[in-house]
Amino acid sequence: MGIQGLARLTEKFYQDVRFRDSRLVVDGYNLSCHLYYTARLDQTYGGDCAAYADLIERFVKALRGCGIQPYVVLDGGDDHTDKKLETKIKRAKERIKAAHKKSQGMPAQNIMPPMCSSLFDQTLVRLEVPVVRCFLEADREVAALASEWKCPVLSKDGDFYIFDLPAGLLPIPHFQWQKAAQRGFVPCKKYTASSFCSFYNIQPRVLPAFAALAGNDFVKGVTIQLETPEKGRPAFLMELLRRLRDFQEPQKALEAALTWMRGVSRDKEAEVLQSLSVGMEEYQLPPSALSRFLTDGTVPPLPPEDQALVPDWFRLPFTEDRLDKVILNVLRLRRVRLPVMVEHSSLPSSHLTSRPIRQVMYGLLLGEEEVEEYDREGLQLTRCMVRPVCKGAARQLSLDSLDKAEPSQRVRVLMEVLEVEPSCFQGVEPHLRLLVAVTCYWMQNAKPTPHQHLLQALLLGLVTTHTSTALQVENTDAKPSLDQDVAHAFNQWHSCVMFSVQLNQLLGVPLPEPQVIRLCGGKLFHQLVHRLRGGVNPERLLTASSLELYRTLLAAMQQPQHRRTTHSLEDLTANLEQLNLPDEDEEAARSAGRQPKNPELGCKKERRGWK
């Protein structure tokens, strides 16, 4: 998360470069946010998936046109030490207030729509860009991989100004990939820590001590008093750099800094020094755990603290980004921070509707141990202990052998939690079956119960994206007014889809994973609801070629099946076989646009799925 104010001090050291013909290690979280926010894509209605996917494709095409091979590294779960929990809670509180403002049409800080992170991952995989997920935060692994490969890092995280990267940092705001097509290279700027240290006349090994003292995310409760001729953060950092010139070793600098601190008693000095030392050690790079995975498929080991908590089969699908990091946080910390969604604070959190889905996921992961959920109530960030649910088909499964469970058992867990019978899949293509089941669940559990117009609008949107149908809706590019109740119903559906996908991933994708780009868009959903409320017949908005799919989906929703199934496993298996449900992870991956993560590896097919 970087050091506040440091970027302003580094800009004078940027070097203009023409970047081409190289590997590039990409900070995935930074890139995903930068692309979305700078393009000013929708943040209010649930996200503009089609435009975002197109933007990602153009970015990748621009790099490949210059001979640049990107390797995208994603963050893993939160750290065992909770050293950044305070910062993350603070930012969650800020996002809740920003989401409320956005729901009223007021300007506020950026908020990434929850499903867009999955769209980012799916699009990169479809484009055969190598994507890997770390077990912990990605910064050190990004830096270690780039250091080993001697290629630059693409990011704007301030921590990369501290790492001693041989090929330097390419700050994302100055990475002009849009100009690559006509030039054959990407005009950009490069930063190196060595040039920074040379200018300020400090030893490179002292730079991590500067980061710890400047107040990064690892050290809290330490206040340094420095007399400066000017006020403000830049003056403070400049004075701190000036004082560090006298030190050859970082530990000596930290010991001297104790005399610059206010409120540090003699008894507390050892504790403060230890905290600063731990923060400084975060910038010491280990051998890259991802390098061998990207070259020969060797899966990184679990962190020592996780080995008793996480089953060994978990390592490969997680590293390949086939398991969400939420799942690791449940195993590691018994905690989930629910993503903030844009909705009016007077309405209850949309995530309440999907809680029963999460409870089954928690039961599979932890048995009967409770999970701490962070959500919102009004404008307040709240925490609640949630009891896992472990019954029915889920009770018959064990986490340690979950990868070996029969496909019919795994599908049964999904059907029980989503309260549907196999008959709801009759005539429905495999890639739509999870969405059909989720929508049935949403119709039964959303509060208030969704009106028929909402269901019809949702199905029309799905038909549009799955058949490339141009709906006969006036002003489809116009920005509709945000109806708070419609937006809340749509958010509840999104939340149910999100956590059903995560549960489906944990179960080894027994149902094909939906492509996020094919979900109904929020703007279109609002426009359709408005038309339907005005008395328009939904079928009149469709062409003849898409009408059959709409009727099939509507019939699936209207069957009297929305109760938890009580069928025996044998009956359920027979019903699923009649529907030819996919029982291979490979077919599920294909439906979601998931290709092998690394074209250089050519991973064997049997490593991609669960048998």
Instruction: Identify the pLDDT of residue 260.
Output: 84
Q: H-type helices in 150-289, by residue range?
A: 180-183, 193-200, 207-213, 233-244, 250-257, 269-281
Distance, CA of 138 to CA of 129 (rounded, Å): 17
Asked whether residue 320 falls in the same domain as residue 429, the answer is yes
DSSP at 534: T
Q: Which of 96, 601, 136 is nearest to 382 (CA)?
A: 96
Residues 465, 50: Cα–Cα separation, whole Å: 9
| Model confidence at 214: pLDDT above 90 | no
d(CA 241, CA 210): 7
- Compute the C-alpha angle 365/582/412, nearest 5°: 45
Residue 128 belongs to a domain with what CATH number? 3.40.50.1010
Q: Provide the mean pLDDT of the chain.
A: 88
From the CB of residue 350, how many other CB atoms can be counted at a distance below 10 Å?
26
Whether 220 shows a pLDDT value over 80: the answer reads no
Domain boundary among 181, 198, 215: 198
**pLDDT (0 to 100) of residue 228:** 79
The helix/strand/coil state of 186 is strand
* Whether 378 and 261 share a structural domain: no
Dihedrals phi, psi of 167, to nearest 5 degrees: -100, 5
Give me the amino acid identity at 324. Answer: D
Q: Is residue 286 part of a domain?
A: no
Same domain, 501 and 535: yes
SS3 609: coil
Please state the rounded mean pLDDT for residues 568-577. 53
User: Quick one: which H or E segment has residue 337?
Assistant: strand 335-337
Query: Is the confidence at residue 367, as pLDDT, over 70?
Result: yes
Asked if residue 288 is part of any domain, the answer here is no
* pLDDT given for residue 457 in this prediction: 96
* 94 in any annotated domain: yes
pLDDT of residue 562: 45
The pLDDT score that the predictor gives to residue 340 is 97
Residues 439 and 442: their CA atoms lie apart, in Å, by: 5
Within 10 Å of residue 201's Cβ, how many Cβ atoms? 10
**Rounded Cα gap, residues 61 and 520, in angstroms:** 26
**Residue 498 is assigned to a structural domain of this protein:** yes
CA dihedral 243, 244, 250, 256 (to 10 degrees): -10
d(CA 506, CA 314): 9
Work out the widest C-alpha separation in the chain, in whole angstroms. 81
Q: Tell me: pLDDT of 73 over 50.
A: yes
Q: Is 290 inside any structural domain?
A: no
HSE-CB of 302 using CA atoms within 13 angstroms: 20
Q: Is 53 helix (H, G, I), strand (E, B) or coil?
A: helix
Distance, in Å, from the CA atom of 23 to the CA atom of 3, rounded to the nearest integer, reads 27
Report H helices in 127-202: 139-149, 180-183, 193-200
What is the tens place of the pLDDT at every residue in 22-69?
999 999 999 999 999 999 999 999 999 999 999 999 999 999 999 999
Examine the domain organization and report whether 133 and 254 are in the same domain.
Answer: no
- The pairing of strands 371-377 and 335-337 is parallel
How high is the pLDDT of residue 574? 54
Tell whether 107 and 253 lie within a shared domain. no
The pLDDT score that the predictor gives to residue 601 is: 42
222/371 same-domain check: no
Q: Which domain holds residue 55?
A: 6-198
Q: Is 293 contained in some domain? A: no
- Note the pLDDT of residue 450: 95
pLDDT higher than 90, residue 82 = no
C-alpha to C-alpha distance for 241 and 245, rounded to whole angstroms: 7
Cα separation values, 348 from 352, 454, 492, Å: 8, 19, 10
Is the model's pLDDT at 576 over the cut of 70? no
- The answer to the question of residue 89 being in a domain is yes
**Residues 132 and 206 both lie in one domain:** no
Q: How many domains does the chain have?
A: 3
Dihedral in degrees, nearest 10, Cα atoms 243, 244, 250, 252: -40
Count of all residues that appear for the chain in the document: 611
Mean pLDDT of 429-451: 96
Distance between CA atoms of residues 600 and 128, nearest Å: 10
What's the token pair of residue 524?
């279109």
The yes-or-no verdict on residue 580 having pLDDT over 80 is no
Most confident of 195-204, 374-383, 537-546: 374-383
Mean predicted confidence (pLDDT) in 351-367? 98
Three-state DSSP class for residue 133: strand
Supply φ then ψ for residue 384, to 5 degrees. Answer: -145, 135
What's residue 560's pLDDT?
Answer: 60
pLDDT at 267 over 90: no
Work out the average pLDDT over 388-407: 95
Is residue 563 pLDDT above 50, yes or no? no
pTM recorded for the entire structure: 0.90
In the sheet with 371-377, reading across from the earlier edge strand, the strands are: 335-337, 371-377, 380-386
Same domain, 333 and 456: yes
Tokens encoding 445: 């559990």
What's the average model confidence in pLDDT over 357-373? 97
Query: Would you say residue 602 has pLDDT above 80?
Result: no
- At residue 71, the 3 state secondary structure works out as strand
Using CA atoms, how far residue 553 sits from 231, 356, 436, 515, 548, in Å, is 64, 24, 7, 17, 9
**3-class DSSP state for residue 29?**
helix
User: Which strands sit side by side in the sheet containing 153-155, from one edge to the other?
Assistant: 131-133, 68-74, 22-27, 153-155, 169-171
Of residues 545 and 254, the one with the higher pLDDT is 254
Strand (E) or helix (H) holding 23: strand 22-27
> Whole-angstrom Cα distance, residue 42 to residue 110?
10
User: Is the pLDDT score of 585 beyond 50?
Assistant: no
**Cα separation of 241 and 345, whole Å?**
45
Residues 274, 324, single domain; the answer is: no
The first and second tokens of residue 217, run together, are: 């995310």
pLDDT at 594: 45
Domain boundary among 281, 313, 330: 281
In angstroms, the CA 584 to CA 563 distance is 27
Two tokens at 301?
A: 């080991």
Q: Which two tokens stand for residue 543?
A: 């062409």
> Distance between CA atoms of 316 and 334, rounded to whole angstroms?
22
192 & 206 share domain: no
Residue 567, in any domain of the structure? yes
Residues 508-522: what's their mean pLDDT?
94
Mean local confidence (pLDDT), 315-329:
97
φ, ψ dihedrals at 4, nearest 5°: -60, 130
Q: Do 381 and 338 belong together in one domain?
A: yes
- Mean pLDDT to the nearest integer, 583-600: 42
Residue with tokens 């708070």: 484
Distance, CA of 552 to chain centre: 33
Among 209, 211, 236, residue whose Cα is nearest residue 225:
236
Whole-angstrom distance, CA of residue 493 vs CA of residue 435: 10
Which range is least confidently modeled, 13-22, 474-483, 524-533? 474-483
End-to-end CA distance of the chain: 40
Q: Is 298 helix (H, G, I), strand (E, B) or coil?
A: coil
Output the pLDDT for position 11.
86
Residues 324 and 206 in one domain: no
Region 281-304: mean pLDDT is 93
State the pLDDT at residue 558: 82
Which of 169, 198, 227 is the last residue before a domain boundary? 198
Question: Any residues with CB less than 8 A from the CB of 327 and at least 6 apart, and which?
Answer: 318, 361, 365, 502, 505, 506
Q: Which residue has the tokens 């009891």?
A: 387
pLDDT recorded at residue 611: 30
Helix (H) or strand (E) holding 6: helix 6-10
Q: Among 410, 415, 419, which Cα is nearest to 353's?
A: 419
Q: Is pLDDT at 317 greater than 70 in this prediction?
A: yes
By percentage, how much of the chain surpasses pLDDT 90?
A: 71
- Indicate the residue type of 20: R
